[in-house]
Structure 1
Amino acid sequence: MSALLTGVRNATLEDMVTMLRDQQAAKLDVVAPATALRSRNAAIELSDVEPTFDENGVTVVDGLYVPTAAADATIADKLGISLKYLRRLREQRPDLYDANVNGWLHGRTRVRHGQREVLYPADDRSFLLRTFRSQNSEQGVLRALLSDRFGIIDNLDVLTAVLDGIRQADAEVEVRACDLSDSSMHCKVYSPSIATLAPHFLRNYRNPFANPELEAERRRVSGDLDQWRRLAQDEGMGYEAGEEPVMFAGFRFSNSEIGGGSVTLKPELFVKICRNGLTLPLLALRKIHVGAKMDNGTVTWSQDTQNKHLAVLTAQTRDAVRQWLTPEFLTAQVAQLEQQAGAPVTEPEKTLKVVAKRLGFTESERDGVLSHFIAGGQLSAAGVANAITSYSQTIADPDRADTLDDLALSALALVQ
């Protein structure tokens, strides 16, 4: 399974489709009772589960599955174990990892006077295990331990449905970047034909990535794909610093296959000069992953069931695109930004310290935003928002990067 690529930042649409197809072929979803699960050397062992029969042939489901970091989070959540503690056990005491997980799964009994006495009852639930199947007798990968009512909506299906919705809306768009991690997928779309001037929001703004150190940070998080090829394709896209303060209409869509979030669509204002994306989270559309209780065994979905789920998402995308990718929507949103953009920032370190505390930034995030604020050259509220959305491009974790972009509007409102 080591050859299966599970994470990347700033991939092209073509690269993302290839990765998702590879993952789709390796997926194996199983519903099993707690009694069928046991932790062994910090890996989850499945037993007494029927083999699966599909286009890949016969796959033996029983075996060991090594949890990802994201899977550990789901195990901690389902069993009520502190995630920080569980991660420490994985690193330092796998024997205690096993004892904790098995203790909560199987309870504890003792024999007293010839009678078996239940001290702590076993877990009576069944769980959905999302895995990548083992290959060549190697261990598989446990992606998540979830409720047996989790509604499966896969990344490739979401991508296909959203692109179909865009096609139905007859919108001229470009998919500018895609991110993938063990826990989520994020894709960013904009319309090069829907643009407006934002002279106040971008006044005196310099592209912070003209600074070689900051540009190196952005390149560093781009993953193992051919970043140099994409950068070469991007040559000539930006404007000269200080010229043509243009923002474009766009939106983002995201999904989590392992319970880390919902299918989400949200509008975005895109600054092409530096590839900053200012999201509008209050206008987001979300679909929570909740489904009907599933029977034990390997999970398979009929094409009819999948089509019904995806048809709703396609229709939502079509309607959202027709609303968000319009001159009227873009102009109205930029007008609101312009009203707040000019508030002066005379003490950057003090201002960002307050903003960071209010919005829950880490110390390293605060320092990173400050570096981008200085490089951007905007001593205003708009400069703080732009610094957050440029700094987010240097964050390796796409989920956290997306959250930071969501917080840029909140920061803008704080600096008034």
Structure 2
Amino acid sequence: MAELLTTTRNATLQDMAALLERQQTRKVDMVVGPRTVHVEHGRLIVHGVEPMLTRSGVTSADGVYRPTGVADEGLSEKFGVPRQYLARMREHALDLYDANLNGWLHRAPADKRYLLRALRGDNGDEGIARAWLSDGYKRVDNLDALMATLDGVRRAGVQVDIDGCDLTDRRMYVRIVCEQVRALAPRLLHGYRSPFTGEAGADNPVVFAGFVITNSEVGHGAFTITPRLVVQVCRNGMTMNRDAMRSVHVGGRLEEGVVTWSAETQQRNLDLITAKTADAVAHFLKREYVEAKLHEIERDAGAPIRDPQKTIHVLGDQLAFSESQRTEILNHFIRGGDTTAGGVMHAVTSVAHTLTDADAAHDMETKAMRALTLAAAQR
């Protein structure tokens, strides 16, 4: 298989769209039964699936597919094999990996059905098994979600910028910022300086409106639009999880074989995403919304932190931060110079900037508001 890039971090919109378009040409969705799949040398061997008609002619979906970690998690869930045990077998004992999964496939009811989302290889080469899902999963592809979101923004007539795009084996993230919609946050930023540039928040207390869209093609979350405030002096992002708009990927049962999603079904998905985006723009990209959220944040942000190490240890336990993440949060807290609960929040969001794992970065940023609340409670 010609090497296919499947992930990216902090990409431009153009690069993200190009990557998604390349993936789109490789995608194949199959509803398979337990008798049409077996496992060999850690790979899924698919046989007996009806060929599909594509632009290039009749294409067989049968073949060899190597599972990603996400696909292994799906296999673990559907067959009740502990995830850590499956990962250990893949790394150290592929014969046991094969035997376990083949055993459970053999024992599964013959009429049981699963959705296998994959990327085809070239000319019979090995492909990629992206996800092993329920046959009731409703597809919302990343490229469709991205284009529909941009269409919703265009229809709303608001000038926005793309603040960065990430793609992982689990999710797509697109951060959108509107610098025309801004507010001042002198109380939140008066004691803070960027750990990246040293610029003082007191000199530039501007906060922009924005939101982040997330989507998963492989069962790891709904299509979501979450409001996000961006601090100009450091580009830290503060996501407002409670206000998020979601659309869950659950649909009717699919027939066995290669799934050909109807144009009508896809258009309904796109129309819904476009409408939700227009609603998000109308609500989230308003100065009144930004000011209201800043007021909520500032209620806790001024609480003094007298024992930073203890405070970060406590919130690290509560928010499941690793030891290395806690160390970095403490370092950024010290470098940021803001010895308040707001400074802890800034430290969490700035560390999220530095993580190369986009899923971990997004997860950390979404916990920043909870970190603020926990830090304020430590006084």
TM-score of Structure 1 vs Structure 2, range by shorter chain: over 0.9
- Looking at structure 2, the residues matched to 142 and 247 of structure 1 have their Cα atoms a distance apart, in angstroms, of 42
For 2:227, what is the secondary structure of its paired residue? strand
Alignment-derived partner of residue 103 in structure 1: 103
Coordinate RMSD, CA, aligned: 1.4
Aligned residue for 1:136, secondary structure, equals coil
SS in 1 for 2:155: helix
Structure-2 residue corresponding to 1:229: none
- CA shift, 1:345, in A, is 1.2
Per the alignment, residue 120 of structure 2 pairs with 133
Q: What is the CA distance between 1:101 and its match in structure 2?
A: 0.6
Q: C-alpha distance in 1, partners of 2:307/2:50?
A: 65
In structure 1, distance between residues paired with 2:155 and 2:175: 18
Change beyond 3 A, Cα 1:250–1:165 = same
Q: Is 1:105–1:123's contact at 8 Å kept on the other side of the alignment?
A: no
Deviation at 1:124, TM superposition (A): 3.6
Q: Which residue of 1 aligns with 2:63?
A: 63
Aligned to 1:360: 320
Are 2:85 and 1:85 equivalent residues in the alignment? yes
Residue in structure 1 matched with residue 137 of structure 2 by the alignment: 150
Secondary structure, aligned partner of 1:343: coil
Aligned to 2:24: 24
Q: Is residue 2:166 matched to residue 1:179?
A: yes
1:152 match: secondary structure = coil
Q: Which residue of 1 aligns with 2:292?
A: 332
Deviations 1:51-109 (A, max 9, x none): 222113232221110001111111111111111110110000000001111111112xx
How far apart, in 2, do the equivalents of 1:147 and 1:123 lie?
15
Counterpart of 1:251 in structure 2 is 211
| CA displacement at 1:382 relative to structure 2 | 0.7
Match of 1:275 in 2: 235
Q: Give 1:165's match in structure 2, choosing from 152, 155, 161.
A: 152
**How far off its partner does 1:375 sit?**
1.7
Alignment-derived partner of residue 3 in structure 1: 3
What is the identity, as a one-letter code, of the residue corresponding to 1:73?
Answer: E
State how far apart, in whole Å, the 2-side matches of 1:123 and 1:83 are. Answer: 24
Percent of counterpart pairs with the same letter?
Answer: 43
Asked if the contact 2:2/2:121 (under 8 Å) is kept, the reply is no
DSSP 3-state at the match of 1:292: coil
CA–CA distance in 2 between the matches of 1:186 and 1:397?
12
> Cα offset for 1:402?
1.4
Q: Does 1:389 align with 2:345?
A: no
> Residue by residue, what CA displacement relative to the aligned partner does 1:327-380 show, whole Å, maximum 9, x if unpaired?
111111111112221111122111100111111212121112112111211111
Deviates more, 1:90-99 or 1:51-60: 51-60
**Structure with more relative contact order (C-alpha pairs < 8 Å, separation 6 or more):** 1
CA distance in 2, matches of 1:333, 1:252: 16
Is this contact kept in 2: 1:51–1:60, CA < 8 A?
A: yes
Between the aligned partners of 2:264 and 2:49, the Cα distance in structure 1 is 26
The aligned residue for residue 206 of structure 1 is: 193
Offset at 1:284?
Answer: 0.6
Deviation of the 1:2 alpha carbon: 5.1
Distance 1:341 1:279 in 2: 15
The 10-residue stretch of structure 1 (187-196 or 365-374) with the greater mean CA deviation from structure 2: 365-374
Indicate the residue corresponding to 1:12 in structure 2: 12
Which AA in structure 2 matches 1:167? Answer: R
Q: Which whole-Å CA distance do the structure 2 matches of 1:203 and 1:84 have between them?
A: 46
Q: Does the aligned pair in 2 maintain the 1:130–1:145 contact within 8 Å?
A: yes
CA spacing shift, 1:2–1:376, aligned 2, 3 Å: farther
The amino acid of 2:314's aligned partner reads V
Deviation at 1:240, TM superposition (A): 6.1
- SS at 1:205's partner residue? coil
Deviations 1:357-409 (A, max 9, x none): 11121212111211211121111111110111111112222222212111111
Note if contact 2:52-2:61 (Cα within 8 Å) is conserved in structure 1.
yes
List runs of 5+ in structure 2 lacking aligned partners.
none
Q: How far apart are 1:270 and its partner, in Å?
A: 0.6
The one-letter amino acid of 1:348's match is: P
Give the corresponding residue for 2:45.
45
Three-state SS of the structure 2 residue aligned to 1:405 is helix
Preserved contact between residue 104 and residue 122 of structure 1 (Cα < 8 Å)? no
2:35 aligned residue: 35
AA matched with 2:333: F
The CA distance in 2 between the partners of 1:248 and 1:309, in whole Å, is 29
CA distance in 2, matches of 1:198, 1:340: 14
Go from structure 1 to structure 2 and tell me whether the alpha carbon gap of 1:273 and 1:45 turns closer, same or farther (over 3 Å shift): same
Q: Give the TM-score, by structure 1 length.
A: 0.88
Q: What does residue 75 of structure 1 align with?
A: 75
For 2:200 and 2:370, the matched residues in 1 are separated by 28
Q: Deviations over 1:97-122 (max 9, x none)?
A: 01111111112xxxxxxxxxxxxx64
Amino acid across the alignment from 1:344: P
The question of whether the paired residues in 2 share the 8 Å contact of 1:104 and 1:123 is answered with no
Structure 1 runs (4+) deviating above 6 angstroms are none
**CA distance 1:63–1:325, change in 2 (3 Å):** same
SS in 2 for 1:35: coil
Q: Secondary structure at the match of 1:243?
A: coil
How far the C-alpha of 1:250 sits from its partner, in A, is 0.5
Question: Which stretch shows the higher mean deviation, 282-291 or 300-309?
Answer: 300-309
1:253/1:266 contact within 8 Å kept: yes
Equivalents in 2 of 1:189, 1:272: separation in Å? 14
Report the secondary structure of 2:65's partner residue: strand
Number of matched pairs:
376
> TM-score, normalised on structure 2?
0.96
